[in-house]
Amino acid sequence: MGDTYQEKVRFTQERVNIFADVTGDNNPIHVNEEYAAKTPFGKPIVHGFFAGSVFSKVFGTTWPGEGTIYLYQEMSFRAPVFVEQDYTAKFEVIEHVEEKHRATIQCTLEDGEGKPAIIGTAKLLHQTKF
């Protein structure tokens, strides 16, 4: 309980374009600068699920890392995520069920000023870390 972790994140337009190709989500708000300039955001935004994928990346590779089984993820998109800007993914264990090797993690993606872009909760299983 209370354990925390954080990791810096930066998305590039090249990776956004790859995500669009892989998923088929070629909405011009993500991949067309001219189109996006005419929207309330004024420029392309990162796909919400691409931005939120940082949570999965951290869980599976860094914290808690290899052996993590993802059971649940809830996300609320609070602000746009833009390419070539710095973000911080923050994590905190808010519930721990030791006998089941499970934990509930508060997940947040914040911009450089600490404003949340994504807020969520994940439930994980890890046989040795929880």
The number of distinct structural domains making up the chain is 1
Looking at residue 1, its amino acid is M
Q: Could you tell me if residue 37 is inside a domain?
A: yes
Q: Could you tell me if residue 115 is inside a domain?
A: yes
Q: Per residue in 95-105, pLDDT tens?
A: 999 999 999 99
Q: Could you tell me if residue 130 is inside a domain?
A: no
Q: Per residue in 6-63, pLDDT tens?
A: 999 999 999 999 999 999 999 999 999 999 999 999 999 999 999 999 999 999 999 9
Global model pTM greater than 0.75: yes
Task: Report the CATH number that the domain containing residue 47 is assigned in CATH.
Answer: 3.10.129.10
Distance of CA 28 to the CA centre of its chain: 21
Q: Could you tell me if residue 89 is inside a domain?
A: yes
Find the Cα–Cα–Cα–Cα dihedral 4, 7, 8, 14, rounded to 10°. -140
Q: Could you tell me if residue 99 is inside a domain?
A: yes
Q: How far is CA 38 from CA 34, 35, 47, 67, 96, in A?
A: 7, 6, 17, 44, 46
Q: By residue range, what is the domain housing residue 80?
A: 4-125
